[in-house]
Chains A and B, each alone.
Chain A
Amino acid sequence: MDRRTESELVTFLLNGAEAAVDPVAGERLSQSLRERLGARDVKVGCNAGDCGACTVLIDGAPACACLVPTQQVRGATVETAAGLTATDPDGVRLAQAFLALGASQCGFCTPGMVVSAVALLRGTTAPGPEAVRDALGGVLCRCTGYSKIVEAVVAAGQGRETALPPGGRVGDPIARVDGGAKISGGEVFGDDVAPPEALVLKVIRSPYSRARFRFGDLDAYRARHGLALVLTAAEVPGANRMGMIPGYIDQPVFAEGEVWFRGEAVAAVVAEPERAAALDLAEFPVEWEVLPAALTPEAARAPGAPVLHVPGNVMCRGRVCRGDAEAGLAGAVHCVSGRFRTAFVEHAYLEPEAGYVVPAPEGDGVAIHACTQAPAMNREALASVLGLAPEAVVIRPTAVGGGFGSKLDLSTQPFLAIAALRLGRPVRMAYARSESMQSTTKRHPSDIALEIGADAEGRITGLRFDGVFNTGAYASWGPTVASRVPIHASGPYRMGGYLAETAGVYTNCPPAGAFRGFGVPQATIALELLLDELADALGQDPLAFRIANALRDGEPTVCGQVFESGVGIGACFEALRPGWAAAWAETEAFNALARAEGSALRRGAGVGAGWYGCGNTGLPNPATIRAGITRDGRVVLHQGAVDIGQGSNTVIAQIFAEALGVPVAAVERVGADTDVTPDAGKTSASRQTFITGNAAMRAGAALRAEILRRVNVEDARAEIVPGAGGLEVRRGGETHAVPLAGLEEDALGYVISAEESYDPPTSALDADGQGEPYAQYGYAAQMAVVEVDTRLGTVRPVTITAAHDVGRAINPVLAEGQIQGGVAQGLGMALMEEYLPGRTENLHDYLIPTIGDVPEIETILVEVPDPHGPHGAKGLGEHALIPTAPAILNAIRRATGAVLRQVPVTPDRLRAAILAAGEGA
């Protein structure tokens, strides 16, 4: 038998060219390809076969490069996304279809998808959707909801070219402007920037939920292993505190003496790459003394519980009160109530946090290349940790392979920045999947008591909401959850007396933070399930009941805010109406047949709705956009709204180009580099299209006015034409060359420039939560049809119809993509996702929906214009996921009679609920 000797060259064909590497024993092909051969189109999302991002073809067959020892490809043919999309006929067609049909969002999964699809198309002519799902089942996507991926592969399989959608004006479904590189794998994510020889940092984390710890001899350890550096809390140059919200900056970079959650950092080591790879972190000299931990809010509020930050462990509370809830409930004819629980949900973006930090050539300062959703906030937070002025910290965001809220917070950056400053050398790191899952923020688990009453006609007379949110060991965005939930817990409905209170409670769990919806999805499950039960009590159709109670223009919200126009929930419900009637008829027929045949299958249709206020809650929330014209007539847009896959690079460019009056293709884009691009604010709270979009519209208009002024033209129809060597203005038959040559360049090289801001009009809330928290809300209603195997407790969603009021769809394809991706996340939350520290810390045990779990999603774009939105547009990011889980749960109840009070509705929980309802035999 062949034993590997120390230096044995492995040669193979990589994308048609000879490649040779000398791997260490057991080196993974993904590592050899990325670090030794520069093939960084091969992405690593889990290093364990669970995500498929690293898929390559070995002798034509798809394989996870992270599970193949490099030695095994000796003499083989290896093909990757970069090669296939450049020269393979199927690969080229697939790349076109993915781009044209919007099948790639963040792009992290896309290379793996395309590679898997090439293998399918080589062996099958014109595969249908089922064959496509079977072939792509091994690649996870967290952004798209898969619908457009299936569509793109089916289209490419039919052998025709897919033309790019034309246009570029507001309302045109153009392909994303940054799409090409995402599909070929050329996009540069957090772990794709550093050169292979950069020092590598690894973090030592607590294996316990709460423990005291003591280090052994760190110097001896460093010397023994030839490490460049060992870092602990003592080495943090500035404040050893991070956080997102003033007053709640409470998380140390490295714990001091005691850890408060499993996965908390206590130290870090920095070494040359080979040494780092060989290190066994279990040998790090640290002794643990395990202490009792409080893992739930009940435990944390019990007498004798460990004190985390404040006695009693209540981090903060939220409250909205309008009218008299108790009286409303007491006077109700029909009352329903329930206690609802939801789990920790992991963001599970496919790109684990990664970054690369370079010290400034002279003196103190660092440049941070990392994936992030909030460059300016990161800069401020890092400056404080590093003890530097903010100007000394430059954030150069890489592409983001999905964020969904968690990449607002700092992760790799402080470790890397401290190390780079101390060593004066660049340092890189990528979180392992388990490290990402253990240590970064999650969706808050909730424990909600809700009671709703209605009068005999079905008008809601009173609602009382009491929600406890597990915020984990540190605050992160917990205060935002506590304040947002009471505002949204009414749903987009007309309320009688209303009282909603929340508490965020510290526990020894991972910090819970921002995740698409900031607590609103949890609250909406409780509300929408009880609304269905209330409709039943009233003998009313669930959709008709909701329509009757839907908020209308001119009616106050629970904060007392009145929108004279733009309230779109009614229109969303109306859009579902035709499908709803058909779905009820269809499910009833199906069930009648199933009963007759003795089948265990039952179908049901359910509805859920939601609303979401765009932007910060009652706080200033500005965005600024800069744009300039170069001396040679190029148009450059400084677009600081980080595109995390949702499409802001494209949508903001469309809005800007329209305002300036140029084709979108003529706009060059500069990203959110804090040195040259002004702060557009964080990518969260569905604010970028609305707020940064408005700033872009203003900047475009200002630039246009300035250009026209230079040629003395005042005509709204005048055309601005950037071309080689200059800028022209055309009006009627006339052409005016804009004189640029003689103008002086500013510091950024522009001869004409504009910078404009937008801050939505809001007002602070009073003690009862009354005021104007948001300038706009977006609205959504969804319908789900599910099939339940009543004897096994398994659920198969059959269709989901999603009607979303987006005000105005700036780019309909991107809007649909957001909705479909949100629906898939809502489906996961409803049926399978539950993060349990120590138990589901990888993508093997923590399940997110695969391509076979998400049904066909019909999207209906409703456009009720918003008076503040650019072209009437409303935010959409969070809305997409809010109605999905309740729609699915309501459908399950219709199918089975099971009363559901906890998500995820796993097969064992559902089977138990079916038996409890007496319908399971």
Chain B
Amino acid sequence: MVEGARARVVAGGTDLFPQLGDRLPDGDLVDLGRIRDLNEMGQCPDGWLIGAGTTWSEILRAEMPSGFDGLKAAAREVGSVQIQNRATLVGNICNASPAADGIPPLLTLNAKVILVGPRGTRRMDLPDFLRGPRQTGMRQGEIVAGVLVPRGVCERSAAFRKLGARRYLVISIAMVAAVLRCDAAGRIANARVAVGAASPVARRLPALEAALEGADAAALADPGFVRPEHLAPLAPVSDVRGSAEYRCDAIAELCRRTVLDALSRSPR
């Protein structure tokens, strides 16, 4: 699909160009924008397809079911309007930054990555696709055609919160996405919670998800609801944006608030 070892795919270019510094790329750029098929977004038999050409602004403007509320909230917080107008969701996951805002919402939506290459098309679960910081399961010559969100989760209630040190144009200190299914009494029947910028790749929190089953807004009003052991898979580092201790402390609170947000949106 992409010939030549030095050719690079460019979608919005918002990760690619800053990484080049003030230099020119040393090979050709293959412009994804010129491939019409990749610009699709919408319902398909298996769920929702978000094509590789889809920008954050398009996600923000699209009519989508409630399960995408978290992704939309993330879209609103990515960089600035200028960035959102050019940058793509797929570029965000291909760049595979630990702080990529698109990844936690997609993890909570059980998204699949659709890869196209010389040997055909294949699907990967997002956690398998994300191999490590800036490492993906893409093979030589492959590109990502889009991400697919399976039917089941599209109608759940969702939320996203990002913690940053300023209002706009800010890389997350940490961010949390949650997708919930609730029972008629307003109790959580099923929860998915994912956290970014606190481990080499963003992670779901199984222990917290289990603890949330059966919880309601009253239980979550307790600021101590999220306990350190709930954050087990996370391994935050200290960097210019915040210390590791702070990240753990703040993430616990951020998780609680994000789940409460999603809960408040769930239909009774």
Give chain A's interface residues, CB within 8 Å of chain B.
Answer: 1-4, 24-28, 47-50, 52, 55, 58, 61-64, 66-69, 71-72, 116, 119, 133-135, 137-140, 277-278, 280, 432, 434, 598, 600, 791-794, 831-832, 834, 836, 839-840, 844-845, 847, 849-853, 906-908, 911-912, 921
Contacts and interface: CB of A to CB of B under 8 A. Distances in A.
B33 A907 contact: no
Given A71-B29, A119-B81, 11 more contacts: A47-B22, A49-B82, A64-B83, A67-B18, A69-B29, A133-B167, A139-B80, A832-B165, A844-B18, A845-B240, A908-B243
A694 B124 CA distance: 73
B163 interface: yes
28 contacts: A1-B2, A1-B30, A2-B30, A3-B30, A4-B28, A25-B27, A47-B22, A49-B83, A62-B81, A67-B86, A69-B31, A134-B81, A137-B167, A137-B168, A280-B26, A791-B250, A792-B250, A794-B165, A844-B18, A847-B166, A850-B169, A851-B167, A851-B168, A907-B163, A907-B165, A911-B249, A912-B245, A921-B223
B228 to A, nearest CB: 15
A814 B240 CA distance: 36
B14 interface: yes
Interface in B76-100: 79-83, 85-86
Highest count of chain A CB atoms <10 Å: which of B10, B24, B82, B163 = B82
Nearest to B249: A911
A116 B165 CA distance: 23
A432 to B, nearest CB: 5
A911 B240 CA distance: 15
B234 to A, nearest CB: 16
B184 interface: no
Given A134-B81, A850-B167, A852-B167, A793 B13 contact: no
Interface string B5-44: 0010010111001101111111111110111000000000
Nearest to A915: B249
Contacts of B25: 25-26
Contacts of B57: 61
Nearest to B34: A2
A325 B98 CA distance: 54
B254 interface: yes
Contact of A793 (B7, B20, B82, B250): B250
Given A69-B29, A69-B31, A911 B81 contact: no
B85 to A, nearest CB: 4
B85 A27 contact: no
B201 interface: no
Interface residues of B, number: 55
The 5 A-B residue pairs with the shortest CB-CB distance in the complex, in nearest-first order: A138-B80, A852-B167, A137-B168, A908-B246, A26-B25
A223 B2 CA distance: 35
Contacts of A139: 80
B208 interface: no
Chain B interface mostly: loop
Question: What's the dominant secondary structure at chain A's contact region?
Answer: loop
A3 B14 contact: no
A911 B13 contact: no
A4 B86 CA distance: 20
Contacts, number: 166
Interface of B: 1-4, 7, 10, 12-14, 17-18, 20-31, 33-35, 57, 79-83, 85-86, 163, 165-171, 173, 221, 223, 240, 242-243, 245-247, 249-250, 253-254
A335 B206 CA distance: 53
A432 B17 CA distance: 14
A840 B171 CA distance: 13
A116 B82 CA distance: 8
B35 A792 contact: no
Identify the interface centre among A69, A116, A140: most chain B CB within 10 Å of its CB.
A69
Contact of A598 (B21, B29, B221): B221
A3 B29 CA distance: 8
Nearest to A850: B168
Contacts of A277: 23-24
Contacts of A133: 167-168
B76 to A, nearest CB: 9
Of the listed residues A67, A849, A851, the one surrounded by the most CB atoms of chain B closer than 10 A to its CB is A67
Contacts of B240: 834, 836, 839-840, 845
B201 to A, nearest CB: 21
Contacts of B20: 26
Contacts of A48: 17-18
Contact of A911 (B22, B79, B169, B246): B246
Contacts of B21: 432, 434
Nearest to A51: B169
B81 A135 contact: yes
Contact of A138 (B23, B34, B82, B253): B82
Interface centre among B27, B169, B243 (most CB of A within 10 A): B169
B17 A67 contact: yes
A912 B247 CA distance: 11
Contacts of B17: 28, 47-49, 66-67
A277 B26 CA distance: 11
Nearest to A119: B81
